Chains A and B, each alone.
Chain A
Amino acid sequence: MKNWWFIRGLRKGIMTEKYPKELPEWSTEIQGQGNANCPTNAIKDEKWIKEKCIFCRRCYPNYKPNLNPRIYTVKKTQPLFKKSFYLYPIDSGSCGGCNMELKLLSSPEYDMTRFGIFFTNTPRHADALIIMGVLTEKMKEVLRKAYDAMPEPKVIILLGACAISGGIIGEGIPLEAAIEIAGCPPNPFTILEALTRVKEK
């Protein structure tokens, strides 16, 4: 009976969380004052620019994370995606960190399907292109083709410091995004909450 998976699943019970029980400090919002030895110029005139932060701790202890994981910017919403929202993830040049955290949205803790969010295997069925990593030469064409293959309405989501600003590795993605999700990598909760915001009015 060891592989009666259905029974096992029931026995384990539901583990989905409204808000994560535990959050690591880095990548959450950063606050502080004074000097910062920031390698990406993410602190200017004592103001923190989340899109540029790679959460390296160089500015610590003058600047500290405050455990607020809501470090995303919603620039555009699309209420048509309210009931179902299909994502096509595309890796333009990541370190694998953003990919792992995105994948973990399907873990029971986050269970993205409860919000009607799903991954799709083809851009032809996608509502959103979710791009992670810096812009690499060969992927430029692939990104364009994937975007062209998507039906309207469609949105672009930039995931992680690399995609938004290039972080410390290279260039960011020069496309207008509906949402920018900061973090290196962003926490799965940050990603999930940002995605649910696209579907709002």
Chain B
Amino acid sequence: MRYYKWSQQGEGRKIGKLGNYCLYEKTITEGKCEETQKPFTPQTYGSFRFIYGPSAGGLLESIKFVITTNGEKILGIEAEVYKNRTIKISGLPIDDAILKVERINAPFSASHTIAFLLSIEDALELELDYQTLLKRIAEIELERIRNHLFVIARLAETASLNVPTFHLLHLVEEVNRLIGKSCGHRYFFGVNSLNEVRCDFGNLLKIIDITKEFKQIFDGLVESRIFIDRLQENGKIKDENSVGPSARAAGFDYDARKDFKVLPYDDLGFKTITTHESDSFGRFLVRGLEILESSKMLVALYDMIKNNNTNYEKTKESYKKVGEGLVRVESPSGDLAYYVNLDNGIVKSVSLLTPSQVNLSLFLKSVTNTIFTDFQFNWESYGIWVSELGVKLE
């Protein structure tokens, strides 16, 4: 492992549970990995349980919430994922494994596939091609913009603000078309392999128009009392075990793009966005400002990416090694890590840490003492994907 070391103790911030291990900023440890504590549910006189999900109009994916309430306040909450998929990856050659990794969570497919490939490349000790790494950044930043636009559209929809909702969905569609045009597939399926990205980013500057349009909607939302009243003070939480936009909204400048140097983000120069709101409004603000920041990065990448093929000579022989690799990337919702063991070009074992698993614990904690009317705004503000929560890799 070139980027991580095994240790008895965690070093740097704690990221979360990675298989049977605990992942920190700089080290991986064996043994217990305390997760955010489950909130305590008091049983008061007249309180009752109310079930939301697993399938309901407001939910995009299948998850069940059991909410304890006294009619107004949410006193306690539990969540149960309903679409658990077991995906078998061990025993597969690298290329076959990629097909499955791509399908863990399509909205974050670039982040998943790139983290997986980087961990394999780490295990194989491959020399990484700079152009490939730049193109990988372009993929992840496009994915971030699409995701944040979608989360903000869901928030606007929850507030019944139809014009911005549809306008934002239009922008999501525009980003999908830009990705489709560049890479042939709207969710980056079939695009990534070892040291190679099959995309032509000649149209990348289209992102300027998209984000200019977004900026106007964003300015409108920030000034809309109808909108911000639903978000401010809703789902307030400051927890140092948080990741991604939820951490940055609470003032923690956690960002794998800066604290894990596997992709050359430093060559682009960008700001990590933080706020001190630590509520749904803060998470919305961080996402909005990150769209603008990612757009600047893509413009810089446009000048740096040469659309010639990678100069890396692929020798299948070099894949036939035994080794372990561990890599973390900043997916749109926070840290995403893969730990793989390789044997002779075959994936022997794989462990995954997704931002949705960390964000779900945080969300559940932040819901207590809010009212049900606030629930949907808080839920959407985390950008949790049940697909990656419910997946069990074998």
Name A's B-contacting residues (CB within 8 A): 2-3, 5-6, 8-9, 12, 15, 21-27, 39, 54-57, 90-101, 103-104, 106-110, 119-122, 133-134, 136-139, 142, 146, 167-170, 184-185, 187-188
Give the distance to chain B from A37, nearest Cβ to Cβ, in Å.
Answer: 10
Q: Determine if A136 and B176 form an interchain contact, defined as CB atoms under 8 angstroms apart.
A: no
Q: Determine if B385 and A96 form an interchain contact, defined as CB atoms under 8 angstroms apart.
A: yes
Tell me which residues across on chain B come within 8 A of A93, comparing CB atoms: 62, 83-85, 390
Q: Determine if B54 and A142 form an interchain contact, defined as CB atoms under 8 angstroms apart.
A: yes
Give the distance to chain B from A165, nearest Cβ to Cβ, in Å.
Answer: 14
Which residue of chain A is the closest to B388 with respect to CB atoms? A96
Tell me which residues across on chain A come within 8 A of B224, comparing CB atoms: 2-3
Taken together as a complex, chains A and B put the C-alpha atoms of A133 and B82 apart, in Å, by 12
7 contacts between A and B (CB under 8 A): A96-B61, A107-B170, A109-B173, A133-B83, A136-B82, A138-B54, A168-B99
Tell me which residues across on chain A come within 8 A of B150, comparing CB atoms: 100
Q: Determine if A99 and B62 form an interchain contact, defined as CB atoms under 8 angstroms apart.
A: no
Tell me which residues across on chain A come within 8 A of B220, comparing CB atoms: 2-3, 5, 8
Taken together as a complex, chains A and B put the C-alpha atoms of A137 and B224 apart, in Å, by 44
Which residue of chain A is the closest to B58 with respect to CB atoms? A121
Q: What 14 new A-B contacts, CB under 8 Å, besides A2-B219, A92-B83, A96-B107?
A: A3-B220, A21-B177, A25-B185, A91-B55, A93-B390, A97-B187, A99-B61, A100-B107, A107-B166, A119-B57, A122-B57, A138-B83, A142-B54, A188-B173
Q: Which 5 A-B pairs have the closest CB atoms?
A: A121-B57, A97-B106, A24-B180, A5-B163, A107-B169
User: Which residues 164-221 of B have a CB within 8 angstroms of A?
Assistant: 164, 166-167, 169-170, 172-173, 176-177, 179-181, 183-187, 189-190, 216, 219-221
Tell me which residues across on chain B come within 8 A of A97, comparing CB atoms: 103, 106-107, 109, 187
B1: interface (CB < 8 Å): no
Q: Determine if B85 and A169 form an interchain contact, defined as CB atoms under 8 angstroms apart.
A: yes
Give the distance to chain A from B94, nearest Cβ to Cβ, in Å.
Answer: 14
B295: interface (CB < 8 Å): no
Which residue of chain B is the closest to A170 with respect to CB atoms? B85
Taken together as a complex, chains A and B put the C-alpha atoms of A55 and B107 apart, in Å, by 17
Taken together as a complex, chains A and B put the C-alpha atoms of A178 and B390 apart, in Å, by 29
Tell me which residues across on chain B come within 8 A of A101, comparing CB atoms: 186
Taken together as a complex, chains A and B put the C-alpha atoms of A9 and B161 apart, in Å, by 11
Q: Determine if B161 and A5 form an interchain contact, defined as CB atoms under 8 angstroms apart.
A: yes
Name B's A-contacting residues (CB within 8 A): 54-58, 60-62, 82-85, 87, 96, 99-100, 103-107, 109, 150, 161-164, 166-167, 169-170, 172-173, 176-177, 179-181, 183-187, 189-190, 216, 219-221, 223-224, 227, 385-387, 390
Q: Determine if A136 and B83 form an interchain contact, defined as CB atoms under 8 angstroms apart.
A: yes
Q: A104-B172, A146-B55 are in contact. Are A5 and B164 (CB under 8 A)?
A: yes
Q: Determine if B169 and A99 form an interchain contact, defined as CB atoms under 8 angstroms apart.
A: no
Taken together as a complex, chains A and B put the C-alpha atoms of A95 and B164 apart, in Å, by 27
Q: Determine if A95 and B105 form an interchain contact, defined as CB atoms under 8 angstroms apart.
A: yes
Taken together as a complex, chains A and B put the C-alpha atoms of A15 and B179 apart, in Å, by 20
Tell me which residues across on chain B come within 8 A of A134, comparing CB atoms: 85
Which residue of chain A is the closest to B81 with respect to CB atoms? A138
Tell me which residues across on chain A come within 8 A of B105, comparing CB atoms: 95-96
Give the distance to chain B from A153, nearest Cβ to Cβ, in Å.
Answer: 21
Q: Determine if B57 and A24 form an interchain contact, defined as CB atoms under 8 angstroms apart.
A: no
Tell me which residues across on chain A come within 8 A of B185, comparing CB atoms: 24-27, 55
Q: Determine if B170 and A3 form an interchain contact, defined as CB atoms under 8 angstroms apart.
A: no
Tell me which residues across on chain A come within 8 A of B189, comparing CB atoms: 26, 54-56, 184
Give the distance to chain A from B132, nearest Cβ to Cβ, in Å.
Answer: 18
Give the distance to chain B from A48, nearest Cβ to Cβ, in Å.
Answer: 16
Q: Determine if B62 and A3 form an interchain contact, defined as CB atoms under 8 angstroms apart.
A: no
Q: Which of B56, B83, B99 contacts A94 (CB 8 A)?
A: B83
